[in-house]
Structure formats: structure tokens, C-alpha cells
Chains A and B, each alone.
Chain A
Amino acid sequence: MMDTKTADKNLERRQVALDLKDLNVHYETPEGDVIAANNVSLKIFRGEILGLVGESGCGKTTTAMAILRLVQPPGRVTKGSVVVREEVDIFNLDDQELRSARWKEIALIPQGAMNSLNPVMRIRDQIADVIRAHDGMHAKSELKERIAELLHVVGLPSRVGALYPHELSGGMKQRVCIAMSIALQPTLVVADEPTSALDVIVQRVVAQTLLDIREKFGMSILIIGHDISLIAQLVDRIAVMYAGNLVEVSPLKKIVEEPLHPYTKLLIESIPSITEKKPMRFSSGITHDLRNPPPGCVFQSRCDQVMDICHKVVPPLLEVDSDLQVACHLYGNDE
């Protein structure tokens, strides 16, 4: 019985919710372009939660913004494509189509979402705005019911709808943003650092809310974060970015037990534990100037297993199996 269940689940997962191909985003500066995303390719399946992790400035937020076509000048997408449900090509939509695709195909929970609410509008009016703009007008009573239902899904009492943002705590505001993001049942929800700046207990409540909405609506979620142990509570797969490049994409269990890329190893080993005292892992060296990447691997200046080839050849994102990719010369069959 277990087998059929997993097989079903796999079949379902194979439906691609988001197909990101060869994304390149550059930020223009007087001293040359900063390469914030370099040939990033990523697939997110239906009902899957994927975590995108990396340190600040590695391009994870840029990648998320590019998926929604929200990169602002001086940034620009120089290459790449984003396809939702294998039919909606986000980069080829006109303004009107793009407007309707946002929220409906892809919804965003922005970074610091609690500060993205309009301070002079009641919560219910803000949610109603989203629904009206995309689904047309509704009878008042129907709208009211739908808003109460949305708030209920994220675990908030319906009277929250009558309140203003300043009357809510950070965790509640965050859950209001989650409620808005699922208002139109999008294919994919992009959540940029959804739990940063929250206390651990509240963090856990918000994380649970995200798991609940996946359970209820089966939507795919892309979670961006820097706290890998928190991300690990939520996701099915993790994608690790370093200096604008995807270095490893791997199922959660695999990446925790047996990380492949040296940078992923460093990330996992530098998590402070609460159950055992252990010497901390150091990392020396600094990231290169993003305007001027060295030839070869992006991690060469900080890698402790660096080889000659790393200074010359860019390691391709090697497909170990369909769920697992790594970009490192330690793996692969170049003799």
C-alpha cells in the first residue's frame, strides 16, 4: 500500500509547476555589471516545497524577483525563461497578462512582509483588493465569507479582518500575508524569508501555516532563507546558491546526511547545535568581486578541496539523478 502511495505522489510531483531556465540577472554599476544570477536553472514540481538557501548577496532574492518579473533597474534579466505549469511563459506576457498572472499563477510573500501591508487600510479591505482585482466584483456577503475563510486557513480569527496592521503582532501580520498569497490559489507561492525577524516560537507557528496551506491546496512553495535548519523543517528539496550560481540541488535528507558540494558542507557544519558542544567550522577567504568572477569555479577562493581544474573550468551543474544536481569538479567523470 505504501508503494502505491509513494508512486502516486511521485507521479503527481513530476508535474512541473515552475520551470526556470538559464536565468541571468545583472545589476549595472559604474565599474561593470554585478552578476547576481548566473545561468540559474531550477524545476519545482507540483505540491513541492523547495528551499533556496545561501548567504546574503548570493542572489537568492534576485532569483525570486526575476521569477515574478520584479527585477528593478539597475538590475535586468539578460537571459532566461520562466514557465509556469508548462504553459505560461512569464517573460513573454504583455503588461495586462502579467498583471493577471501575478497572484493567480505566482504569488509573492515579500521579505519583511509585515511591513508590506498598507497601514491605513483594514486587513479585510486589503485582501478584498486582491480578490477584486483578479476575480472581478463579488457580492459583499460572498467576499466577506471568503475573507473569513482565508483568515481561518492561516489560523486567525475572522475579527482580525476588521483590524489595522499596527494592531497585529509580527507573526499575525505574516500570516495575513500568507492568507493574501493564497487568496487566488496560485500554482506557486514564493516566500522570501517568511520567518526572519520573528521569535522562534512565532517562527514555528508561521512555518506550520505554510505547511498547512500546502496540505490543503497542494500548491508549490519556493521558500528563500538563510537559516538552513529552519528551512529543513519545511522543504522537500534544497537548492544552495553561492555568488549567483546554483551549486547544489538535493533532497532534504540527502543534503543533511551527505552534502556533496564543499560549500554545502561548510554551510551544514557551521550550524551551531543545541544538543552537543563542538568546535565550530571556520571558513577563510572571501568571496570574489561579483563584477569580476574568476575563471573556473565560483567557490575556488574559499574551497578547501580546490584543485587545478577549478581555476580553469567552470563546473557544470551535473545531474546525479533527476532530483539531485551538483556543480563541482569533485564529482563527475572527467579523467
Chain B
Amino acid sequence: MNEPLLQIKKLTKVYGSGLTKNKNTLVALQDFELTIPKEPAKIIAIAGESGSGKTTLANLVLGLTMPTSGEIFFRGKDVLDMDRKERKDYTRHVQAVFQDPYSVYNPFYPVKHIFDIALRNFKLAESRSQENELIEEALNMVGMQSQEILHKFPHQLSGGQRQRLMVARAYLLKPNLIVADEPVSMVDASLRATILDIMQKLRDDRVISILYVTHDLSTAYQIADEIYLLYQGSTVERGEVTEVIDNPKHPYVQALIDSIPDIKQKWSGEITALDDEQLRTRSDSGCRFYYRCPYRMDRCLEKKPELISVGKADHHASCHLYSDPPD
């Protein structure tokens, strides 16, 4: 059987428990499941508001934090149970692009430095000229020329250029998966399109899957194939991106899509301010969206809704509105 590229099973991350058995725990991610097939490459958007657990997920996949429970399999191997060699191989094939293109560079080195250390760490080139070739190819992928850019220092480049260089660096290592955590949120609107286009090219021409972590549903709609919407650590809705956004099922996702400003039309109707204390439900039972939900029912408090199929393709939502009432 064709084993998936990345498979995440029941992934849970709880902050603030540890040895002290502190009661103030925060469930950042709960029973998260996701599968990325080996082929075709896909862009998978992970969307949600701040505190929804999307960056926690990115950090878990990148191995920057350890999960509380659950498993991550990369090409069939458990990521948490790898030996040194496998681990290094994993860090090469799963690359990261972070949000802030200003703070990831060391200001004392010309930008060529980030390519050099990556190549040397994984010993990808045997000679200087081969090194240069690899770098040139990676730069061409993002529409840049080595002689124009490599000798420059980070402060001489715009945010958009720096972010393109970060994508080039990730591509240089020929990864299977790129985890891009808000890659365009700090890049100006008029330059954003270039980076999104590069991400699509990586998928279409180079068979690199991308985990696109974002709060911006409109860019996700433009480039992603699938979308996972998180709310307080749980997946509330997932599926094919056009299906989910054109036809949202979960009340939270409906409210979210309703609030996205559209330049051509003004928001219709009022939205009521939320009473904030009730938002942070600490209980594990019941639906986390209960207090904000316009359709809440008694059973939403009793039982946490499971992800169930709500439409065509792989469209799933976790809401009791779509489950059969208990008899």
C-alpha cells in the first residue's frame, strides 16, 4: 500500500501540566488527525484565530515541541521514535518557513550564509561549484538571481524578498514537506501574490506538499487544496477548500467567513460583542464553541461533538447540528 507522506494521529498538546500537576492547564491541541498523501502534492491550510492551536501544530510537526500524546508518522516512521540518522533525514525533508522575515536572519552575515550552512549541514554538495549551482537553482525557483542578491545583507532587502529567500532556502534541501507558518502575514499586500504563487509552483512542479498555517481564509481559498479549521485546539471543520468556504457547516466557521471584510460590499447586520470570560472553557466535555454558538442545544454541553461527514468529498464538521439526536 502507498503509505502517506505524513500521518498525524490523535495528536494532543497540553501546556502547563508537567510534574507540578498544576490545575491551570491549557489544551492547545486536542486529538488532531491529518493525513497527507505522498502524491499528488497538496497545499493544506491550517486556519484559525489566535490561540486556536495552529502554530502549536506547526511546532509539533517540526519537532520544536513534544506532544503530550499522539503520534506523527513520516513516510511510515514514527517521528518521536527515530534514531539519530533518521531524525536528521526527517529534518532535511521537512522544512520550515516562518512568519517574520525580519528576525530569522543574522544581520551580521550576507544572505548567502543561510544557504551555506544549510548545504554544509546536510553535505549536499561536493564542491564549491556544485554548491553554487544548487543555490542558483533554488534562487531561480523564486525568481531571483544569485549575483544580484547573495552578497547583500538582510537590511538591504525588502520583507518580500527576504521571505522569498527563506522559501528558496527551504527548497534548496529538496524537502517533501514545507511547514509554512503565516508566511505572508508580514509581507505587503502587493508583494504577497509572488510568494503565494511560488508555493503553488512548488506543489505543481516540484511535488512538495505544504502545510500552510494561516489566519487569513482568503489566501487559503486562493491557493490551498484542503483546509482544516481549528477552534481552541480542535478541528471544527475540514474538507476541500472551495467546498468548505463556499458552503460552511459549522456555526463558528459561518461566523468567521461572514466577518471577513470584502472590499466590494459592506458587512450586513450587527455582530454582538462576546462576553470574554465564557470563551475560555476549560472543561474537556462538551463543545468548546457552546457559549458563542447561536444554535446551542443542551446536548452540546454534555458531549463533545465528533467530526462527521457533512457533505460531498471529504467535508467534515464537528457539530451536533448534523449528528442524529440520541433516542
Contacts and interface: CB of A to CB of B under 8 A. Distances in A.
Interface residues of B, number: 40
B263 A271 contact: yes
A16 interface: no
Nearest to B161: A286
Contacts of B221: 272-274, 277
Interface in A229-285: 229-230, 232-233, 256, 263, 266-268, 270-275, 277-278, 280-283
A172 interface: yes
A256 B263 contact: yes
Contact of A169 (B256, B257, B260, B276): B276
Summarize B's interface: helix, strand, loop or mixed.
helix
A226 interface: yes
A226 B49 contact: no
Nearest to A280: B193
Interface in A195-240: 199-205, 208, 226-230, 232-233
Nearest to B246: A275
B274 interface: yes
A155 interface: yes
Interface residues of A, number: 43
Nearest to B267: A233
A228 B197 CA distance: 21
Nearest to A263: B190
B117 interface: no
Contacts of A15: none
A199 B230 CA distance: 13
A49 B157 CA distance: 35
A268 B263 contact: yes
A274 B267 contact: no
A229 B192 CA distance: 15
B192 A277 contact: no
Interface string A87-102: 0000000000000000
A169 B275 CA distance: 10
A292 interface: no
A304 interface: no
A78 interface: no
A199 B263 contact: no
Contacts of A270: 189-190, 192-193
A116 interface: no
Contacts of A280: 192-193, 196-197, 222
Nearest to A54: B188
B191 interface: yes
B218 A230 contact: no
B245 interface: yes
B248 to A, nearest CB: 11
A274 B217 contact: yes
B49 A200 contact: yes
Contacts, number: 113
Contacts of A169: 276, 279
Contact of B260 (A200, A282, A283): A200
A256 to B, nearest CB: 6
Contacts of A268: 263
Contacts of B196: 272, 280
Interface in B261-310: 261-264, 266-267, 270-271, 273-274, 276, 279
Contacts of A228: 189, 263
Contacts of B260: 200, 274
A121 B28 CA distance: 30
Given A172-B276, A205-B274, A280-B193, A272 B261 contact: no
A282 B197 contact: yes
Contacts of A233: 261, 266-267
A205 B158 contact: no
A227 B190 contact: no
Given A226-B189, A282-B197, A286-B161, A274 B245 contact: yes
Interface string B122-156: 00000000000000000000000000000000000
Nearest to A286: B158
Q: Which 4 A-B pairs have the closest CB atoms?
A: A280-B193, A199-B49, A55-B188, A272-B218
Given A156-B273, A227-B261, A256-B264, 7 more contacts: A55-B189, A204-B259, A229-B262, A230-B261, A268-B263, A275-B262, A283-B194
9 contacts: A169-B276, A171-B273, A201-B255, A201-B271, A228-B263, A232-B266, A275-B262, A282-B193, A286-B161
Interface of A: 55-56, 155-156, 168-172, 199-205, 208, 226-230, 232-233, 256, 263, 266-268, 270-275, 277-278, 280-283, 286-287
